[in-house]
Amino acid sequence: MAHKVLDDLFHDTLKDIYYAERQILKALPKMARGAQSDRLRKAFEKHREETEIHVERLQQVFEILGKAARGKTCPAIDGIIEEGEEVMAAFKGAPALDAGLVAAAQAVEHYEIARYGTLRQWAKQLGLKEAAALLGQTLEEESATDELLTEIAESEANREAAEPA
């Protein structure tokens, strides 16, 4: 077996999140269309725009490494997105739909936060200061999106889901 080092792991994980971000770009418009709340719909639309920037930043990190921007299939994000699609189908038109969409979106955000946090630290360890800064910017935006989703859940989505019919 080849001798694998942090640089290899960094590149492999970068390919993972690149694939994930591209899948998320496809899923967000569906989630926005499914949202019943205007506020949640707008949050998904805004995050889609941010995600396009996240993909561009990842492409910059690949350039820093001198590698082609390529993804590798990420079963974790595929499963999280599939669960979100199941929620949309099972709760379409129901009071609990937006709460389910927020939960699905937060599962995505938490995955991304974990990946970006790890990648930023590895970039620092590898002396890739520019890459660490780019990854850190995205980490901050993913965390802000998570906080916004929590606020939407607490202020409206969960409350509406809990109201008796």
Provide CB contacts within 8 A for 61, sequence distance 6+.
Answer: 14, 123, 128, 131, 134, 135
Q: How far apart are CA 88 and CA 41, in angstroms?
A: 13
pLDDT score recorded for residue 1 = 66
For the domain with range 6-162, which CATH number is right: 1.20.1260.10, 1.20.120.1200, 2.60.40.1730, 1.10.10.10? 1.20.1260.10
pLDDT digits (tens, 9 = 90+) for 94-125: 999 999 999 999 999 999 999 999 999 999 99
Q: Say what the pLDDT of residue 83 is.
A: 95
pLDDT at 163: 84
Predicted TM-score of the model (pTM):
0.94
Residues of the chain with pLDDT under 50: none
Domain boundaries of the chain, sorted by first residue: 6-162
78: left (phi over 0), alpha (psi -120 to 50) or beta: alpha
